[in-house]
A and B are shown apart, each in its own frame.
Chain A
Amino acid sequence: MKRREFIKKATLTAAGAFVAPYILPSGRLFAPSGSQIAPHVILVMYAGGIRNQETVDQMYLTQSQYTWNPIPALNVPGNIMPNMLAGAAPTSKVVYGTGISGNTPISPILTTPLHSQGVLFKEVNAVAAGHYGGSIALLQGNTNLAQPLLDRPKTPTIFEYLRKHGGYKATDTWFLGNSLGNSVPLYNHSDDPDYGAKYGANMFIPGVTFGSQGDQFLKNAKVYHPQNELSPMYKMKYFLDNSYESLTQNNVLDVVGNTEAEKAQIKAFMKNMFLKKQAGSVLQPPVSGGDGLTVGYACEVMKEFNPALTVVKIDGPDTCHSDFTGYLRAIHKADHAVGFLWDYIQNQIPAMAGNTIIIATPDCGRNLNPNPILDTENNFRAFDHSDANTRRVFTLMAGKSITNHPDKATAPISSSSPLNTDAAITVGHILGVESEMLSSGYLHGNSQSLIRKL
């Protein structure tokens, strides 16, 4: 290399070193290292504990009731998730549907089930046996043995990785929860000091936000003039905040960092939802109620905000602790809700149609053996979740760039099986922050994007 050329290149390199780590508008320092596989992901936390026997194994009553009560009428296999899984429905003893005794299955919404569009990881290792631990493990990509209930996740959630390292804004990440119980309202961010609320997701618990409580305390919110009223109000608030911060440096709260424009959009969205609720026109799956309500509002959120990541928590099947018939119906209804959600995206949200990947995985499974409780309707045995069978779950993935594959991970659960917490790194991979997540040191040691296992 000539001396002049060397000096030129060295100068450019030095200049680049000063310029390259620029501050992005989101406040983050570096651009994400990975490219997007798809711009939108939906992670469905599919149920509060469901057994592979009644889902991907399609054994319906055969391995739940017939095993313990071997009468021929209970030896009925079949698929009760027609929108998600390919397979024939049970031919007798149909109690999982609607109508009298649940004898009318809900018609499938998807003509091709997600299973036939994408890929099913059939035997996936659930890293936690409880709902809160299991659910936040899905979001953190790991489990934390020191994690108490009613406490924020201890390590960063996928929302925080995306917002800190991927430059996603607050309204790009949403969590839709089904209840205030089971610490569900704590899912939207961790209390990790390097991440936390300022990188958290927006969240609604629709049954409350838009329920009777919301009617009383949120619905009638005054709409202020943005320039003449709101802007001066924020200005004075920021003055007060600065005065306070200058005196108490260690006590300033972090909040999900919606910009004023994002806040205005969310407030307008809420106003619109209350109007739609009054008019009875909030989106709902054809057979609504329970998890359908959460899914309906999730569709409304996606239509309005086109988020990069939407996480929906479904947990109707947790009734299985005491009501196996209700559990079967809840699984079937949740499948119906997922079918509605996927169909709605493809047909009613142009920005997300053909551009979205859906991942559905349970927080945990359920026991192999039943507890002593019989449900009142069919005398079916109920199941809790604590034994080895609870580790057996599945992960279903479909959408943009996910072509149909034969089932993966069909061997019995072992140390080399995929983890349900792989959902987190898979989302990170799809949205371009995989390497940042892997290098954070917080993920399970065996974590790997499921897309890399195809």
Chain B
Amino acid sequence: MKFKQIAILTSVLVFTFSSCKKDTIDDKVFQVENVSLYSSASSKLKEKTESQWIAVVYTNLFQQALSASDIYRAGQCITSIGDKELAREVIISNFMNSTSPIPVIPSNTEMRSDIDKFVKDSYERFLIRRPTEGEKQYFRNEITNDPLRSAEIVYFSFALSNEYLFY
């Protein structure tokens, strides 16, 4: 009898204090604060360093981080070229040509299945803000009117834009 009581008590304690807890995404995020979208591009006034730009563009394109040493080496490439915009363009096209890892870019079908969503997602992904109505309309027209317009080229333009150089 005494053994039965002890067994029941042990079971209760085990279930009470060591039951499984369901994992949530929040549990896996440590010391990262939620960031609000910019309400407008006008609040972006600080220029990214070359390293910051490389880290961000790599993460945006590949959805994974570049190592610190590679960020440094890619930054040296930009420093070594006089026309910084041209240097950034060559680095982006180098990333776009990567086979391992492969840049994460929607397919043409995915882009055209919901152009408005693609445009909104692109603005949020690269510029951390939502497009204005005028901007939405512009990109909707660009994509709709040109069957050759790919998501890669749209992403390229965002990554090379001046706004992308600021935060």
Contact = CB atoms under 8 A, between A and B. Distances in A.
B162 A245 contact: yes
A232 B138 contact: no
Nearest to A244: B163
Contacts of A228: 148
B161 A221 contact: no
Contacts of B154: 236
Interface stretch (A95-103, A211-219, A302-310): A211-219
B27 interface: no
Contacts, number: 150
Interface string B129-166: 00010010011001000101110011011101111011
A164 B87 CA distance: 23
A276 interface: no
B44 A263 contact: no
A237 B84 CA distance: 15
Interface in A85-142: none
A243 B135 contact: yes
Interface in A239-270: 239-241, 243-245, 247-248, 251-253, 255-256, 258, 263, 266-267, 270
B82 A267 contact: no
Interface residues of B, number: 48
Given A209-B80, A240-B157, A243-B41, 16 more contacts: A175-B82, A177-B80, A185-B80, A201-B82, A203-B83, A204-B81, A208-B79, A217-B94, A218-B94, A236-B142, A237-B156, A239-B157, A244-B41, A244-B44, A248-B42, A266-B86
Interface of A: 170, 174-175, 177, 180, 185, 188-189, 200-205, 208-209, 212-214, 216-224, 228-229, 232-237, 239-241, 243-245, 247-248, 251-253, 255-256, 258, 263, 266-267, 270
4 smallest beta-carbon distances between A and B, as pairs: A203-B82, A236-B157, A240-B161, A205-B80
Interface of B: 40-42, 44-45, 47, 70, 73-74, 76-77, 79-87, 89-91, 93-94, 96-98, 132, 135, 138-139, 142, 146, 148-150, 153-154, 156-158, 160-163, 165-166
